[in-house]
């Protein structure tokens, strides 16, 4: 059951994880003075860029995205435009949630927004790739018993892992250890990244071990 999908998923996730790895290592080789803590924002952008590009490419090649009804260029363009809009709105959403959690409103707004971009590229982008720009489908997937395919379950797991990782990443901030990774937003983005990688590894494994129990009702 689902063997084919699980294999595809595992290889996809391996590619994405290796892209994260490359995005961390390559700048360290080419950009002088690059470090994850020191030039944290650069790392953030490089990782989000890499994950965005690779996910879009891989999911487009795999063809998981729900088939569009129309094939006209205009429709495709509008889909693309809507996807970009959703991406930006999701950045704003994450930014406002982080501010509500207590991030300073004005100072270090750039750092906060960068974190929001990272979170978006780790979570919303996947939704866009797998489900397309339709809010109805998103709400369906993220409500209880809403998954309709293995890919939906995988999406649930990775998104939850990323968000929980970022959430847990905030805990070390009040500690008085004065470490470089306690600076805003390093711990949160690292937490999100670790959560995301855990999700990438965990999702195929979980689905593999629960493949007997998994049943999806079709529409």
Considering the rule CB under 8 A, would residue 218 count as an interface residue with another protein? no
> Minimum distance between the CB of residue 60 and another protein, rounded to whole angstroms?
29
Cβ contacts of residue 142 below 8 Å, gap of 6+? 156, 159
Q: How far apart are CA 43 and CA 55, in angstroms?
A: 18
Considering the rule CB under 8 A, would residue 175 count as an interface residue with another protein? yes
Q: Which of 28, 137, 170, 194 binds another protein (CB under 8 A)?
A: 170
Considering the rule CB under 8 A, would residue 174 count as an interface residue with another protein? yes
Q: Which parts of 2-41 interact with another protein (CB under 8 A)? A: none
Q: From 209, 202, 211, select the one nearest 17 (Cα to Cα).
A: 202
159 close to 123: Cβ distance less than 8 angstroms: yes
Cβ contacts of residue 86 below 8 Å, gap of 6+? 124, 128, 133
Binding segment for another protein (CB under 8 A), chosen from 12-20, 54-62, 120-128, 166-174, is: 166-174
Determine how many CB atoms are found less than 10 A away from the CB of residue 114.
22
> How close are the terminal C-alpha atoms of the chain, in Å?
20
Q: Which parts of 122-161 interact with another protein (CB under 8 A)? A: 139-140, 143-144, 146
Of 146 and 202, CB closest to another protein: 146
Cβ contacts of residue 62 below 8 Å, gap of 6+? 8, 12
Site size toward another protein, by CB under 8 A = 16
Of 22 and 173, CB closest to another protein: 173
Considering the rule CB under 8 A, would residue 183 count as an interface residue with another protein? no
Of 77 and 175, CB closest to another protein: 175
Q: Which residues bind another protein (CB under 8 A)?
A: 97, 99-102, 139-140, 143-144, 146, 167, 170, 173-176
């Amino acid at each position: 059951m689902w063997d084919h999908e699980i294999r595809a998923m595992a290889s996809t996730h391996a590619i994405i994880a290796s892209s994260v790895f490359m995005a961390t290592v390559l700048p360290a080789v080419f950009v002088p003075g690059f470090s994850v803590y020191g030039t944290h924002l650069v790392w953030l952008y490089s990782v989000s860029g890499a994950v965005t590009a690779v996910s879009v490419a891989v999911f487009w090649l795999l063809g998981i995205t729900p088939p569009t009804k129309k094939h006209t260029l205009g429709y495709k363009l509008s889909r693309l435009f809507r996807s970009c809009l959703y991406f930006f709105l999701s950045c704003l959403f994450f930014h406002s949630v982080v501010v509500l959690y207590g991030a300073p409103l004005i100072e270090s707004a750039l750092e906060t927004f960068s974190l929001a971009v990272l979170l978006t590229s780790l979570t919303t982008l996947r939704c866009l790739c797998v489900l397309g720009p339709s809010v109805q489908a998103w709400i369906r997937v993220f409500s209880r018993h809403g998954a309709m395919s293995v890919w939906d379950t995988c999406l649930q797991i990775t998104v939850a892992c990323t968000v929980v990782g970022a959430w847990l990443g905030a805990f070390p901030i009040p500690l008085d250890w004065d470490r470089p990774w306690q600076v805003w937003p390093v711990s949160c983005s690292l937490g999100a990244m670790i959560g995301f990688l855990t999700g990438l590894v965990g999702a195929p494994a979980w689905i593999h071990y629960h493949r007997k129990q998994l049943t999806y009702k079709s529409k």
